[in-house]
Structure 1
Amino acid sequence: MTQQVHRYTCDFAGKELVIETGKLAQQAGGAVTVRLGDTMVFATATMSKSPRDGINFFPLSVDYEERLYAGGRIPGSYFRREGRPSEQAILIARVVDRTLRPLFPKGLRNEVQVILLSLSHDGEHQIDMLGIIAASAALAISDVPWNGPVAGVRVGLIDGELVVNPTHSQMEDSLLDLRVSGTADAVNMVECGANEVDEETMVRALMLAHESIQPVIETINRMREEVGKPKAEFTPFLPDESVIAEVRDKVYDRVRDIIINHTDKSERGEALSALRDELLAEYEQRNADAVAAAAEGEEPAIVSLSDVAEGFEAVVKEAVRQRIIKEGIRPDGRGYTDIRALSAEVGIVPRVHGSGLFSRGETQVLTILTLGTPRDAKKLDGLSPEETRRY
């Protein structure tokens, strides 16, 4: 079998990024490897031929398979085999999912799987943002309908300077760990940890991140034009717009009144649930009447109750949004700058080494502490250079 390997390169913050396709997983919808330094990630994207029955959501799954052979290591478990995904692997899968999911077309019910696999890790170049690039490239050249491409990048703040794609060793001295992904036009995912970085620096970091991913997006677009497959046709499962409009006309004013008059969360929820049940009961009765009135052999005009429920949720969302934007009032009565009541207590639990309770409104966090020696630190078995964690 003749393999035609396509290799694309671009400058990614002063380093060569290499994307290849055509060598591995040729039966997948799209498959690529992405390499930066000696870190290499493999990604595939595949969509089912038909929609999954009986669901009202988009069945996308994004999995990152971390393999310690990528770093030349043998797993430290008793059986010396890979076990369940590490915490870091789960977080990488989630950050990729959050980037990809908003760009799929509405109403898609075909199952889509994006699988990432670590092939090599040099201990310096981090995998998470390369995973976003690999998944984006695989989807872009596949037959899966998708409104990408996207790319991701990390920005650090080291010695007062913003650094794009800092290595693991550089991140030890960074005050900022900013991960950004986006399209050619806008940012669509941000995740950040920082040590009191000022707002102006954060804005500059976001702008720098978006600027830095442009060469990668241009490269993926070129790949799509040259080797991409035609996008598959699919049947969108969208609610009936006439039903949505009818539901809005029926209940918008009542929903708005509930939101205005019930600032307590539980009371507001009960009032909205009662209105929703009343609305569904009305349409159930209408459907029953339509069936009874239909002549023999005539198809009754049945209204989908799922469309009614979806229309009601859309009305609630619109009413909340409009009140916030136009009146500056949130559902619980707070303005833009108001915060919930805060409180903190310690010594909640007896005999333990430490305990504390933090409350913000109705949200509470109870923390219980146990002190140990350095020998009690948790051993990490992953590709990150971090070997232990003491908390």
Structure 2
Amino acid sequence: MTEDGVRRFSLDLFGKTIEFEVGKLATLADGAVVVSCGGTDILVTAMGSKNEVDRDFFPLVVDVEERMYAAGKIPGGFFRREGRPSEKSILTARLIDRPLRPNFPEGMRIEVQVIATILSVDHANQPDVLAVNGASAALCISDIPFDGPVGAVRVGLLPTGLAINPTIQEMELSSLDLVVAGVLNPESNEVDIIMVEAGASQVSEDDIVEALEFSKQGIREMIRIQQQMMQEVGKPKREVNLRKFDFQAVEERFPEMKTRVDNLVHEVARNQLEKPERDKALDNLQNEFLLAAEMGGAGEDFLASLKEYYSHLVGESIRRMVLEEELRVDGRRPEEIRPITCEVGLVSRTHGSGLFARGLTQVLTLLTLGPISDMQRIDDLSPEEGKRFLHHYNFPPFCVGETGVLRGPRRREIGHGALAERALVTLIPDEDVFPYTIRLVSEVLSSNGSTSMASVCASSLALMDAGVPLKDKKAVAGIAMGLVKGEDKVVVLTDIQGIEDKYGDMDFKVA
């Protein structure tokens, strides 16, 4: 205990001191933590609304606020103040969101907002992984229901070996940039990995596996310190109503639904129906049950339960078919890839273009070359001043057969653009070899799973079409892998599509 009500918790993690401070700043927040390492300090707050909202999803929002004062800078532009979030802050917010979201109680419908405000950066200790741990800690000590803690670390592969949370300077020598988040399994007391994000210079599979195992040591320590914080300064968790569906009532009213859904899923697989025909068949059967329920005077709660139960049965049938028959919903075997087509030189006035299609997923990437003076100027907290290789990703509503408002890139589009850029950047030639700025724009024309990895493939085609001399004369390919886990069997799926992403246990994109 220090000054009035302020508590500090310190952790020595592989030679670095990480400190969590509670009770000094943002005392009206449900949970507030200042997490520090070296000269990098981040205030992370967690707030939960008092009332529930009528949504069919959990309303979690994560924001990262980069303040230029943190790096001793004055913002550029006429007004000299921060404006829209930088790409880095959006990517960090997505990094925080992914491991947190699965750990809230299912059916919770209070609005939760996590804000990470970067107060100081020392250009040695990166704030992103600290912010993940700070967000988990803020939620753990708050009264917001949360099944944490979540621990996160960065692993680098240096010339001297694997390292936990290397500095920015050390990462310049690393052939691997791996961020791993995990939770503690209450039954086995082992660390379960729930999120992986990585960029690498063509490291081996053995190196990746070793790095993942190595990360668990740091994750365990981050979880331990948060557990201590919960015990000593944590608030009792509030009571919230969890949205529940009455599956039993639906099953009693329509006992034939399970058999009919299972038969339909098998028929769809046997006939190898594509997404439009499959969706129509599944929707028609659901509408048949909804109409019967409405004709019988069912209320809104029963209809909502019916829709949820129907979706549950579809997912269970798809999973059971994979585990017992190794048959997928589109008729493929687990390791089978959808038909692939490639084409280059489609657009006459661009420097390069590539069209890549895998099944009903189709991406067109256009490449533009410019002088070095066209490079993007970076005005954020990073020490980087400019980028000469850019990849942008667009996901218009027509690619999923819908209408929508076009209002600039959304967070998902920025995240997917950065994902593909990360897959390609290690093969981009150095400036002294190829003195040009390179901009790739991936236009998603049709989406049925893994458009980000299709963007990697289309971008690789466009680079070769433009004559960009890629390092080692190598192409880049990407694919999304899935997983269905049963009680005593695990089936790995190659090239998953949208419905397998929805009902499967993993979406693992690899380039």
For this structure pair, what is the TM-score category when the shorter chain's length is used for normalisation? Answer: over 0.9
* Number of equivalenced pairs: 377
Q: Secondary structure at the match of 2:256?
A: helix
Q: Do the aligned residues in 1 keep the contact of 2:21 with 2:33 (CA within 8 Å)?
A: yes
Q: Alpha carbons of 1:361 and 1:247: their partners in 2 closer, same or farther (altered >3 Å)?
A: farther
Please say if 1:192 is aligned against 2:190: no
Q: How far off its partner does 1:253 sit?
A: 2.4
Structure 1 segment 176-325 matched on structure 2, within 5 A: 176-185=176-185, 186-243=192-249, 245-246=251-252, 249-262=255-268, 263-264=272-273, 265-287=275-297, 304-325=302-323
Q: Give the counterpart letter for 2:26 in structure 1.
A: A
Q: How far off its partner does 1:340 sit?
A: 1.5
> Structure 2 CA distance, aligned partners of 1:169 and 1:229?
39
Q: How far off its partner does 1:163 sit?
A: 1.8
> Structure 2 CA distance, aligned partners of 1:69 and 1:46?
25
Q: Do the aligned residues in 2 keep the contact of 1:328 with 1:335 (CA within 8 Å)?
A: yes
Q: How far off its partner does 1:59 sit?
A: 1.4
Q: How far off its partner does 1:105 sit?
A: 0.7
Q: Give the counterpart letter for 1:355 in structure 2.
A: S
> Structure 2 CA distance, aligned partners of 1:206 and 1:244?
43
Q: How far off its partner does 1:248 sit?
A: 7.7
Greater relative contact order (Cα < 8 A, sep 6+): 1
Q: Alpha carbons of 1:221 and 1:199: their partners in 2 closer, same or farther (altered >3 Å)?
A: same
Structure 1 segment 110-129 matched on structure 2, within 5 A: 110-129=110-129
Q: Alpha carbons of 1:79 and 1:7: their partners in 2 closer, same or farther (altered >3 Å)?
A: same
Q: Secondary structure at the match of 2:370?
A: coil
**Corresponding residue for 2:51?**
50
> Structure 2 CA distance, aligned partners of 1:194 and 1:223?
35
Could you list the structure 1 runs, at least 4 aligned residues long, displaced by more than 6 angstroms after superposition.
none
> Structure 1 CA distance, aligned partners of 2:215 and 2:337?
31
Q: How far off its partner does 1:258 sit?
A: 2.4
Q: Secondary structure at the match of 1:304?
A: helix
> Structure 2 CA distance, aligned partners of 1:10 and 1:244?
51
Q: Do the aligned residues in 2 keep the contact of 1:141 with 1:224 (CA within 8 Å)?
A: yes
**Corresponding residue for 2:75?**
75
Q: How far off its partner does 1:247 sit?
A: 7.3
Q: How far off its partner does 1:196 sit?
A: 2.3
Q: Give the counterpart letter for 1:231 in structure 2.
A: K
Tell me the alpha carbon deviations over residues 316-365 of structure 1, each in whole angstroms, 9 at most, x when there is no partner.
11111111111111111111211122222110001211111111111112
Q: Alpha carbons of 1:249 and 1:222: their partners in 2 closer, same or farther (altered >3 Å)?
A: same
> Structure 1 CA distance, aligned partners of 2:84 and 2:306?
41
> Structure 2 CA distance, aligned partners of 1:159 and 1:99?
30
> Structure 1 CA distance, aligned partners of 2:177 and 2:253?
45
Q: Give the counterpart letter for 1:272 in structure 2.
A: L
Q: How far off its partner does 1:246 sit?
A: 4.1
Q: Do the aligned residues in 2 keep the contact of 1:151 with 1:183 (CA within 8 Å)?
A: yes
Q: How far off its partner does 1:229 sit?
A: 0.7
Q: Do the aligned residues in 2 keep the contact of 1:287 with 1:302 (CA within 8 Å)?
A: no
**Corresponding residue for 2:10?**
9
Q: Secondary structure at the match of 2:296?
A: helix
> Structure 1 CA distance, aligned partners of 2:177 and 2:205?
14
Q: Alpha carbons of 1:232 and 1:283: their partners in 2 closer, same or farther (altered >3 Å)?
A: same
> Structure 1 CA distance, aligned partners of 2:253 and 2:329?
21
> Structure 1 CA distance, aligned partners of 2:144 and 2:181?
20
Q: Do the aligned residues in 2 keep the contact of 1:287 with 1:303 (CA within 8 Å)?
A: no
Decide which moves more: 30-39 or 356-365.
356-365
Decide which moves more: 179-188 or 131-140.
179-188
Q: How far off its partner does 1:208 sit?
A: 0.9
Q: How far off its partner does 1:97 sit?
A: 0.8
> Structure 1 CA distance, aligned partners of 2:277 and 2:264?
9
> Structure 2 CA distance, aligned partners of 1:134 and 1:345?
46
Q: Do the aligned residues in 1 keep the contact of 2:30 with 2:47 (CA within 8 Å)?
A: yes
**Corresponding residue for 2:502?**
none
TM-score by length of 2: 0.71
Q: How far off its partner does 1:261 sit?
A: 2.3
The unaligned stretches of length 5 or more in structure 2 are 186-191, 390-511
Q: Secondary structure at the match of 1:125?
A: coil
| Rg larger in structure | 1
TM-score by length of 1: 0.92
**Corresponding residue for 1:293?**
none
**Corresponding residue for 2:143?**
143
> Structure 1 CA distance, aligned partners of 2:181 and 2:133?
9
> Structure 1 CA distance, aligned partners of 2:153 and 2:376?
29
Q: Percent identity?
A: 46
Q: Alpha carbons of 1:338 and 1:224: their partners in 2 closer, same or farther (altered >3 Å)?
A: same
Q: Do the aligned residues in 1 keep the contact of 2:86 with 2:380 (CA within 8 Å)?
A: yes
Q: Secondary structure at the match of 2:26?
A: coil
Tell me the alpha carbon deviations over residues 23-50 of structure 1, each in whole angstroms, 9 at most, x when there is no partner.
0111111101000111111111111222
**Corresponding residue for 1:294?**
none
